[in-house]
Amino acid sequence: MTLPSITPLRPAVASARKPQIAFDRVSLDLGGKTILDTVNLDVAPGEFLCIIGASGCGKTTALRLAAGLYQPTSGRVTFDGVAMTAPRRDIAIVFQDYGKALLPWRTAIGNVSLALETAGVPKPQRADRIEELLVKVGLPFHGDKYPAEMSGGMQQRLQIARCLAQEPKVLLMDEPFGALDAMTRQSLQDEVLELVRASGVTVIFVTHDLEEAIYLGDRVIGLLPHPGRVGIQCAIDLARPRDQLTTREQPQFLALRRQLFDFIKASEA
């Protein structure tokens, strides 16, 4: 897997530009309880935003709002200034419960193919594209397996491959590396960074791994639970391209990590 070697094109914090996705005083009630309360959030085009927070604080819910899968109870979510009333094909989402989001009756190839079929990619071109994507997520020889025949991490990566096949403008990822070992995880992190660099895609990335959030993001926000609201915002000014060894050793990295750790700790107290 390749590491990016060019200087980053994107500003570290992109607040100056017009937002691509914006939460405007968004609240959401589910099952009679307020899950998210007056959340304001702007995500610039090409920005890499990471969301952290305690378990059950509303990260998944926020992501589902951004995807257009939920409609806010009050306030609104906009994409390029237009209110989101339904999901869009140029927004892809990687679900946390990977086991449920794959079609059990299709093989790995078939699952990726689904996105291509929908986008109208002609049949002869699909095979190569699918192969390429499976290699990218590290599943080159597993194309003929059904999801039930794959390990948890493999299913998770397969889901990522399907989302990439969509060639989205915005990629929403909900703990996408939760089921992966350290190495696979690191290489996929770099793969995602490379992808973002090359395509300029906007990413909202939910994770519970603070180091991962800092390593990947242009900005990290932390949610407070009961009800979910934004509790902390950190711009990450670490230079790009980032490196698994050197970046993680920078004092700034460690300081940010400490800061976020304290935030989570306080939020759970």
Partner 1 sequence: MRRPDILWRLGSFAVAAALVGLWQLTADLKLVSPVFLPGPDKAWTALIRGFSSGDLMAKLLGTLAHMLYGWLCASFVGIALGAAIGASKTMRDYVAPSLEWLRPLPVSAIIPIAIALFGLTQGMALFVIAFGAMWPMLLATIHGFAVVEPRLYEVARTLHMSRLAVIVKIALPSASPDILAGMRLSLTVALILSVVCEILAGLDGLGHWVLLSARAFRSADLFAGVILLGIVGYVTATAMAFAERRLLRWRGVGH
Partner 2 sequence: MPHWLKPLVLPVALIVLFEAWARATDLQSDSLAPPSAIGRALIEALGSGELWIATRDTLASTLAGLLIGSAIGLMLGIALGLSSGFNRLMDVTIEAIRPIPSIALLPIALIAFGFGYRMEIVIVAFACIWPMLILSRAAIGGIEPRLLEVARLLRLTSADRVRKIVIPAALPRIFVAFRLAAGIALIVAVTCEIAINPIGLGASIMAAQQALRADLMLAYLIWIGAIGFALNAGLLLAQNSLFGRAALAEIAR
Least gap, CB of 247 to partner 2 (angstroms): 32
Residues binding partner 1: number (CB under 8 A): 31
Sheet harboring 229-235: ordered strands across? 91-94, 170-174, 202-206, 48-53, 219-224, 229-235
Least gap, CB of 130 to ligand ATP (angstroms): 18
- Options 58-66, 100-108, 244-252, 260-268: segment touching Mg ion (CB under 5 A): 58-66
Asked whether position 59 contacts ligand ATP by CB under 6 A, the answer is yes
Q: Out of 35, 52, 108, 115, name the contact with partner 2 by CB under 8 A.
A: 115
Cis peptide before 147 (omega within 30 of 0): no
Q: Out of 115, 158, 224, 238, name the contact with partner 1 by CB under 8 A.
A: 115
User: Mask 56-85, x = binds partner 2 (CB under 8 A)?
Assistant: -----------x-x----------------
Q: Out of 7, 31, 122, 123, name the contact with a copy of itself by CB under 8 A.
A: 31
Asked whether position 219 contacts ligand ATP by CB under 6 A, the answer is no
Least gap, CB of 4 to ligand ATP (angstroms): 26
- CB count within 10 Å of CB 150 equals 20
Least gap, CB of 61 to partner 1 (angstroms): 9
Residue 173: CA count within 13 A, CB half-sphere: 31
Asked whether position 154 contacts a copy of itself by CB under 8 A, the answer is yes
Residue pair 101/163 in contact (Cβ under 8 Å)? The answer is no
d(CA 179, CA 241): 25
- Options 117-125, 179-187, 198-206, 236-244: segment touching partner 1 (CB under 8 A): 117-125
Please state, in angstroms and as integers, the Cα–Cα distance from residue 10 to each residue in 2, 46, 177, 200, 211, following that order: 19, 7, 24, 8, 21
d(CA 191, CA 195): 6
d(CA 83, CA 85): 6
Asked whether position 59 contacts partner 1 by CB under 8 A, the answer is no
- Options 6-14, 149-157, 160-168, 189-197: segment touching a copy of itself (CB under 8 A): 149-157
The first and second tokens of residue 191, run together, are 């793969």
Which ranges of the chain would DSSP assign to H, the alpha helix?
59-67, 98-101, 108-119, 123-136, 152-165, 182-199, 210-216, 246-249, 251-268
Of 114 and 195, which CB lies nearer to partner 2 in the complex structure?
Answer: 114
Q: Out of 20, 27, 61, 159, name the contact with ligand ATP by CB under 6 A.
A: 61
Binding stretches for ligand ATP (CB under 6 A) = 30-31, 33, 35, 53, 55-61, 96, 145, 149-154, 179, 181, 208
